[in-house]
């Protein structure tokens, strides 16, 4: 089973309000990722957890937070949503960073609309 | 830094025919991994096939195969006997051994398979 689950599937948020998105996987994967995808653009990596270590991309460092309370769950937190945060947020997981285990398995995404 | 380019923004084919989608990449690393993903109409991103840079044989999975031309830094996706449900956006992506698992995506190619 290569299922990655995301909740909610759709999220409506007000400008300036916080947003918390949830992702889970039961494959015991070491690494979990969060991507932002806007229409007609490639997915953009926001951050990833390798085990308990969080790595955030330099250009989104201050905009997004994340937590991984256990191997199966990972959240994405936006402290104060802006209109530019409207996008599809994709969670993915992979078995590890090294070796041949580079395939990432994506969840169905959460479509965030900020009004 | 890595770069992935998909020059074809959209392709339309008749079902049951063969289609090739182009992808070229740039990297200074000698060891890297190449992937093709498909984004369905619902927005879900699905892993299709991969090619490891050290392997000379072209990867094949079901009716997907790759045309790996290392000297040209090219990794084309070939879909044989296309079906209507193959209509989707296809993303080429790559990662390298010490990139912290970061996938670099191309811009995507929209494939339309018509009756």
What average pLDDT does range B83-90 have in this prediction?
96
pLDDT band per the 50, 70, 90 thresholds, residue B98: low
Q: What average pLDDT does range A51-74 have in this prediction?
A: 90
Residue for token pair 């479509």: A111
Q: What does the pLDDT average to over A58-64?
A: 85
What digits encode the pLDDT tens for the residues A3-23? 899 999 999 999 999 999 999
Cα–Cα distance for residue pair B93/B17, rounded to 1 Å: 25
Q: What's the DSSP call for residue A27?
A: S
B43 vs A: CB within 8 A: yes
Q: Is the per-residue pLDDT at B89 higher than 70?
A: yes
- Asked if A79 and A65 count as a contact pair (C-beta separation under 8 A), the reply is yes
Is A111 part of the contact surface with chain B (CB cutoff 8 Å)? yes
- Give me the residues paired with residue B90 across strands: B38, B109
pLDDT at B69 (0 to 100): 97
Mean of pLDDT over chain A: 90
Which residue in A has a C-alpha nearest to residue B110's C-alpha? Answer: A40
- Any chain B CB within 8 A of the CB of A36? no
Residue A78: both structure tokens together: 């936006």
In chain B, residues with a C-beta closer than 8 Å to the C-beta of A109 are: 43-45
Mean residue pLDDT across chain B: 92
**Residue to substitute from B45, B88, B97, interface A, most A β-carbons within 10 A:** B45
pLDDT exceeds 90 at position B30:
no
Q: What confidence score (pLDDT) does residue B8 get?
A: 96
User: Which residues from A are below 8 Å from B46, CB to CB?
Assistant: 106
d(CA A82, CA A14): 8
Q: Phi and psi dihedrals of A80, rounded to 5?
A: -145, 105
B100 at A interface, C-beta within 8 A:
yes
């Amino acid at each position: 089973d290569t299922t990655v689950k995301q909740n909610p599937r759709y999220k409506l948020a007000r400008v300036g309000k916080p947003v918390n998105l949830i992702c889970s996987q039961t494959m015991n994967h070491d690494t979990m990722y969060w991507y932002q995808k806007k229409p007609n653009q490639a997915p953009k990596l926001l951050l990833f957890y390798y085990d308990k270590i969080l790595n955030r991309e330099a250009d989104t460092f201050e905009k997004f937070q994340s937590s991984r309370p256990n191997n199966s769950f990972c959240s994405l937190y936006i402290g104060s949503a802006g209109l530019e945060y409207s996008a599809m947020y994709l969670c993915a997981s992979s078995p590890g960073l090294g070796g041949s285990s580079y395939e990432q398995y994506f969840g169905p995404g959460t479509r965030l609309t900020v009004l | 830094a890595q770069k992935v380019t998909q020059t074809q923004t959209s392709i339309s084919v008749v079902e049951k025919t063969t289609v090739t989608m182009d992808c070229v990449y740039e990297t200074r690393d000698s060891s890297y991994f190449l992937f093709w993903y498909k984004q369905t109409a619902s927005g879900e991103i699905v892993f299709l096939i991969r090619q490891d840079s050290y392997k000379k044989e072209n990867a094949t999975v079901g009716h997907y195969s790759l045309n790996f031309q290392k000297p040209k830094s090219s990794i084309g996706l070939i879909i044989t006997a296309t079906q209507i449900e193959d209509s989707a956006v296809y993303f080429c992506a790559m990662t390298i051994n010490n990139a912290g698992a970061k996938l670099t995506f191309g811009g995507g190619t929209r494939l339309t398979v018509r009756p």
